[in-house]
Chains A and B, each alone.
Chain A
């Protein structure tokens, strides 16, 4: 068998279940790999080897007794350091929450653990999840496993880096303005931002209550679907999930033949690096071979949608952080404080108009999608830039670069649609390229079906970086 640490989540869980490998062996393999990679990547906030080995031994004993907790039995996971686990630190990439011990466990984590997984540690993130690159002045920048001088994307920087380097088979991220899809694109992994209100956000650090979503980063679509099958659905602790359907595994495995994908005529196809444009063309060809009908779609003006998204995000983030912004402003990193302060510019009228328009904007988007099951678009116009050229504090021309790489993200959060980021090739400097399949509301399983078939026909997601 190849390196256990390089196995994907689904295969790992199956091998443990069949007792071909033990949970202890898995933990030891991952710890050995983390030892080698962590000094270069800074992906982990904390590694908890003793507790993880204890949990692994318990999982192996349970299995030896003929019992299993569920589909993730014996699998170690590590999540973004904003998912609370009772009694464990959750520092949210910040100085303000340094040393903060969570008094409760996030519903998503609780469900993953009820399905048999356990904690190997926690992965780093952008301070309070409010930044698109992976820079963090408090915990150090997280580095891209394909080239450590380049950004991971944020804010789920540690999740992207750790899964990309195969330090962990899967990790939860969060996506408020692209924070799952960007690290997935830049680090060459699969990332799934579910439909807003599909997965409980209870006991996770919030950024924007209207736009926050909880989802996985993993090697494959099937891995992400496995995680979502465990965490999706109603949760009394998060009333916004009241109408959320549970995961439909059968729908997520449907053959894509006869489905329709839309390719945007504008916005998402503008100013693309040549390799990104080629990856899109190649993906269109691959989907056509799978029997998928491909049509062009004329979407409503996404710059207007993006403006509304930023007004909502800025207002809600400022509201959450107002107490600390008043009393501890100097304890924020300068860039995050600056971003939070932008929310002070919006009046209640600005915010409420942006919120009232949301349903109309979604209706217009869906009408433009017509009969399409999903829209296929790049995640970003370019591959990962360097940490240096995107460091706003260094006085470089960083802002336009950051604006350029993040613009395809925010409309989707405002519209609340599911979006699956798929590895789709490699571009300049040998860096990964991701494409996003943007679905219809609660059409997460359709995205999964399309993405899974795409991965069965391609091998981009199987490529892993090697340690330089």
Chain B
């Protein structure tokens, strides 16, 4: 399961970043974000410890050089 994506958690996250959200807005955002977070979490992705975002660039160039 993904992290808690309840409207309360959204409102707290946004509040920490300096945004004041209404309860309705927090609920709407939670509804919109839930499918993505749930789907990504359900992927059960396991990565080697050493993986970092720039791994992407390395894979790009490795394939180009094949």
Contacts and interface: CB of A to CB of B under 8 A. Distances in A.
Contact of B33 (A196, A314, A325, A363): A314
Interface size class of A (residues with CB under 8 A): 35 or more
Contacts of A441: 59-61, 63-64
B36 A197 contact: no
B61 A353 contact: no
B53 A355 contact: yes
B58 interface: yes
A128 B47 CA distance: 34
A336 interface: no
B28 A338 contact: yes
B60 A362 contact: yes
A346 B53 contact: no
A355 B45 CA distance: 12
A413 B12 CA distance: 30
A363 B40 CA distance: 18
Contact of A366 (B17, B32, B43, B59): B59
Nearest to A417: B60
A195 interface: yes
Given A311-B40, A363-B59, A345 B13 contact: yes
A358 interface: yes
B55 A356 contact: yes
A247 to B, nearest CB: 14
Contacts of A345: 5, 10, 13, 29-30, 32-33, 37
Interface stretch (A11-19, A61-69, A302-310): A302-310
Contact of B60 (A352, A356, A442): A442
Contacts of B55: 356, 358-360
A350 interface: yes
User: By DSSP majority rule, is chain B's interface helix, strand, loop, or mixed?
Assistant: helix
Given A243-B61, A347-B3, A441-B61, A353 B45 contact: yes
Given A311-B36, A341-B25, A345-B37, A357 B30 contact: no
Given A345-B10, A349-B3, A440-B64, A360 B33 contact: no
A326 interface: yes
A441 B55 CA distance: 14
Interface string A316-351: 000000100110000000000010011011110110
B40 A354 contact: yes
B47 A357 contact: yes
A344 B57 contact: no
A411 interface: no
A194 to B, nearest CB: 12
Nearest to B65: A442
Contact of A350 (B28, B40, B53): B40
Interface string A221-250: 000000000000000000000010100000
Given A303-B39, A311-B36, A344-B19, A362 B28 contact: no
A425 interface: no
A326 B60 contact: no
A440 B65 CA distance: 11
A195 to B, nearest CB: 7
Contact of A416 (B2, B45, B56): B56
Interface in B29-51: 29-30, 32-33, 35-37, 39-40, 42-43, 45, 47, 51
Interface in A267-312: 301, 303-304, 306-308, 310-311
Nearest to A309: B36
A155 to B, nearest CB: 18
Given A322-B18, A441-B63, 16 more contacts: A195-B60, A243-B57, A245-B64, A304-B39, A304-B42, A304-B43, A306-B39, A341-B29, A345-B5, A345-B33, A346-B37, A356-B52, A359-B51, A359-B55, A366-B59, A416-B56
Interface of B: 2-3, 5, 10, 13-14, 17-19, 21, 25, 28-30, 32-33, 35-37, 39-40, 42-43, 45, 47, 51-61, 63-64
Shortest beta-carbon contacts, A-B, top 8: A359-B55, A345-B33, A307-B39, A442-B64, A359-B56, A441-B60, A358-B56, A355-B53
